[in-house]
Structure 1
Amino acid sequence: MRKKPGNDVYVALIVAVVQVVLSQGAAWGQRGYREPLDSLAYVLLLVGPVAILARRKFPVISTVVTLLATYAFVVGGYPYGPVFLAPIFMLWSLILGGRRLIAWILSGVTLAVFVIYASLGGDHGLWAFHTLAITAFILLFMVIGELVRIRSERRAEHQRVVEEESRRQASEERLTMAQELHDVLAHNISLIHVQASTALHLMDEQPEQARTALTTIKSASKEVLGEMRSVLNVLREGAPRSPTAGLDRLDELVTRSGLDVTLKHVGSRPLPPQLERAAYRIIQEALTNAARHAPGSRVTVRLEYGTSELGVLISDTGATKPAVLAEAGSGNGIPGMRERASALGGTLTAGPVGNGFQVEAKLPFPEETS
């Protein structure tokens, strides 16, 4: 039984009271057929409850002792009834404790003992039937014990599956956070680097443009700190997760990029957070690549809200200035964008178009469930 050790004392006390008190009533009801209770009978009635206290350390031995006391009580001619409570509990404990074979062997031995007792003339007629009925009652509780065990195992298996699924989701969440941090850091640090290089180059000749670049650096550094706090807050227990980026912040992203960007929206509709975040990050990475490899270019960002998918197109006209960070970066930008699209069941293509470069993603809307 899945109980705390301290509960065994209460169980033993309850079983002892039930067996002793109710056996007195059974003795009164069976007077003339069974022997009245005497000192030996009371001792045998208390053997089972005492054995309950030792069932965790000696489960098989305590069950055997309980059954032997029960056999002696019945063979001694004492009244039927409450004496069977302790052996039922002990056999049930064996089943729930994983000792099913031993429990069924002992129940078979119990059946054999009662059948032999009845056949040898210990009881006749109704009493023989009564003996077999009591045995059937014990077997019924054995079956109930098996059903409880099966249900308990299924519950444990379900709990294990739930915990594994929770760990899997936690692992996926960590990967998502890592990707979020990568995208945030890559974009903002690249932007800071580009603007810092611009500021250094123009500081003497065009101080106003240098001031603009420094303002962009300040904004980008504040942005990266805010994004990191938003993502890392997920690690705090009970901290609610909110999308760290969405298309409502697209104008801010374009302003910070330092590029000549034209935004086009074709249609409009609400988007699920994961799709909106993926679209934002794809645009962010494409603008980062344009700032690295095509400074001075004109960039067009087009969002097309179709009936079944969101189309995202980012294209630039090619560099008109030397690329400050042309060789910088991890080389994971385009594969990362493609992974984001694939995770939603979409596609992403990227490659040169004329003098410039183009990134096109198709992100399907999730199917609505009724």
Structure 2
Amino acid sequence: MVNAASRRRLPPRPRGRAADAALAAAVFVLVGLGSLRSLIGEPEESRQATVLGWVLIAAACGALYFARRAPVPVAAFVLAATLGYYLLSVYDGPLTVAFVVALYVVSAEGHLQAAIGLASLTVALTGAGTLAGNDDVNGVALFMLTGWLVGVVALGRVRLGRLIMAQEAERRAAYEERMRIARELHDVIGHHISLINVQSAAALRRVQKDPVKGAVSAEEALGAIKGASREALRELRTTLGVLRSVDEAAPTGPAPGLHRLDDLVASARLAGLDVRTETGGAHDELPAEVDLAAYRVIQESLTNVTRHARAATVTVRTAVEPGRLTVEVTDDGQGGEGFVPGSGITGMRERARALGGELTAGPAPDGGFTVRARFPYEAGRARTDGVRSTS
């Protein structure tokens, strides 16, 4: 098996016009080798006929250079040159190969009706020659020729289908990657910008209300703003670094995860929320992608509470069980009134689904709002400890 390193050492395949030239040259060499009998030994036809035959061979093979750019006209020209060759020359060379290649290109480029028409015309002309007394092509040979042409058209169609599927898969992968990047940037920026907005608005109100006492509170708020902006810049640089390092080594810095839950809770408390946490299980044994997704769900949920809920208390619960992590964020605010899912909740749901999990979000039974996510992972990789509560 050829691995990635050895593939990189292989010479590059010809592409574009170089590939077209290589195709035309390869077919000419193949047909020329099969037609050498006209140049060796006692001639069976006039020199003029032999020269004209080789001109037709060169023209038919050379036309393949333009086959991908004008597949139908080239195939029609090659068919005419091939027909002229077999009518004028007494040598039965393999010039049919050039037409078979041209017919394949017509089908592979999506011109199915033209390919069927050219194949049918070829069979009809060959059959007419057989009826006119051409002993070189009998009924069995005509039947085999028909099968070959049908197979070539079908093979070109399969090639086209595979190319379309590959392009669609590439577009879908690009779309999913754009959505993943959008979710990541939304989670990274949205949370910290929300905290900065809340803290700056609160500091402004305090200063306007009491310039002397408000200055002290404003200083604390500015400290929180500085910390939130520094954290936003750090995470943004990390995210952009991952995007830039496509073919480079993975970043060595730690990725966000539940090990940083205390920092996340502390930043939410700076916005005036009473945040309580209840954690169960060993977070350090979670797979990295599950750990990151859970962190982002909690981060986005706290951001939404800060922006919209007008809540006083938020409870964050995490429970690590064999094969499953459950995350729940509940507040006592007014976020459940007239609830309409936004881009943040949609992004959280997409994160959960990407890992085979699920996420629900909506009004809590006792008022407020609840976000609950479940992430499956490989069973037996986590141990469960007692529940630890903080407030």
TM-score by structure 1 length? 0.69
Q: Which moved more, 1:193-202 or 1:212-221?
A: 193-202
The Cα of 1:221 is off from its aligned counterpart by 0.8
1:153 alignment counterpart: 157
2:258 alignment counterpart: 247
Indicate how the Cα distance of structure 1 residues 139 and 228 shifts in structure 2: closer, same or farther if over 3 A, else same.
farther
Q: Secondary structure at the match of 1:310?
A: strand
Q: Aligned partners of 1:54, 1:211: CA distance in 2, in Å? A: 79
Q: Report the residue type matching 1:346 in the other structure.
A: E
The Cα of 1:194 is off from its aligned counterpart by 2.6
* Equivalent residues of 1:41, 1:73 under 8 A apart: yes
Q: Secondary structure at the match of 1:348?
A: strand
Q: Report the residue type matching 1:69 in the other structure.
A: Y
The Cα of 1:250 is off from its aligned counterpart by 1.5
* Equivalent residues of 1:51, 1:66 under 8 A apart: no
* Equivalent residues of 1:299, 1:314 under 8 A apart: yes
1:125 alignment counterpart: none
1:339 alignment counterpart: 349
Q: Report the residue type matching 1:266 in the other structure.
A: G
Q: Report the residue type matching 1:348 in the other structure.
A: T
Q: Report the residue type matching 2:300 in the other structure.
A: E
**Is 1:22 aligned to 2:37, yes or no?**
yes
Question: Equivalent residues in 2 for 1:355-370 (5 A)?
Answer: 357=368, 359-365=370-376
Indicate how the Cα distance of structure 1 residues 331 and 222 shifts in structure 2: closer, same or farther if over 3 A, else same.
farther
Structure 2: give runs of 5+ residues left out of the alignment. 1-15, 67-72, 108-114, 335-339, 380-391
* Equivalent residues of 1:313, 1:358 under 8 A apart: no
Indicate how the Cα distance of structure 1 residues 96 and 177 shifts in structure 2: closer, same or farther if over 3 A, else same.
closer
* Equivalent residues of 1:267, 1:305 under 8 A apart: yes
1:29-64 CA-partner distances (Å, limit 9, x unpaired): xxxxxx834424423532431431457555435533
Q: Report the residue type matching 1:97 in the other structure.
A: V
Q: Report the residue type matching 2:86 in the other structure.
A: T
Question: Equivalent residues in 2 for 1:115-264 (5 A)?
Answer: 116-117=132-133, 131-132=136-137, 140=144, 143-144=147-148, 146-200=150-204, 201=206, 204-205=212-213, 210-232=218-240, 236=244, 238=246, 245-257=256-268, 258=270, 259-264=273-278
Indicate how the Cα distance of structure 1 residues 301 and 237 shifts in structure 2: closer, same or farther if over 3 A, else same.
closer
Indicate how the Cα distance of structure 1 residues 12 and 63 shifts in structure 2: closer, same or farther if over 3 A, else same.
same
* Equivalent residues of 2:116, 2:153 under 8 A apart: no
Q: Report the residue type matching 2:322 in the other structure.
A: T
Q: Secondary structure at the match of 2:212?
A: coil
2:300 alignment counterpart: 285
Structure 1: give runs of 5+ residues left out of the alignment. 29-34, 75-79, 119-127, 324-329
The Cα of 1:363 is off from its aligned counterpart by 1.1
1:105 alignment counterpart: 121
% identity of equivalent residues: 27
The Cα of 1:198 is off from its aligned counterpart by 4.3
Question: Relative CO higher for 1 or 2, CA cutoff 8 Å, sep ≥ 6?
Answer: 2
The Cα of 1:136 is off from its aligned counterpart by 5.6
* Equivalent residues of 1:187, 1:285 under 8 A apart: yes
Q: Secondary structure at the match of 2:322?
A: coil
Q: Aligned partners of 2:63, 2:343: CA distance in 1, in Å? A: 66
Indicate how the Cα distance of structure 1 residues 44 and 139 shifts in structure 2: closer, same or farther if over 3 A, else same.
farther
Q: Secondary structure at the match of 2:282?
A: coil
1:90 alignment counterpart: 99
1:301 alignment counterpart: 316
The Cα of 1:280 is off from its aligned counterpart by 1.9
Indicate how the Cα distance of structure 1 residues 222 and 138 shifts in structure 2: closer, same or farther if over 3 A, else same.
farther
CA RMSD of aligned residues (A): 4.4
The structure 1 residue matched to 2:329, chosen from 314, 326, 329, is 314
Indicate how the Cα distance of structure 1 residues 63 and 331 shifts in structure 2: closer, same or farther if over 3 A, else same.
closer
The Cα of 1:93 is off from its aligned counterpart by 2.3
* Equivalent residues of 2:363, 2:369 under 8 A apart: yes
1:77 alignment counterpart: none
Question: Equivalent residues in 2 for 1:322-333 (5 A)?
Answer: 332=342
Indicate how the Cα distance of structure 1 residues 5 and 314 shifts in structure 2: closer, same or farther if over 3 A, else same.
closer
2:363 alignment counterpart: 351
Indicate how the Cα distance of structure 1 residues 113 and 341 shifts in structure 2: closer, same or farther if over 3 A, else same.
closer
The Cα of 1:220 is off from its aligned counterpart by 0.5
* Equivalent residues of 1:285, 1:337 under 8 A apart: no
The Cα of 1:304 is off from its aligned counterpart by 0.7
1:178-235 CA-partner distances (Å, limit 9, x unpaired): 3333333332122113323444527733766544332221111122223334445566
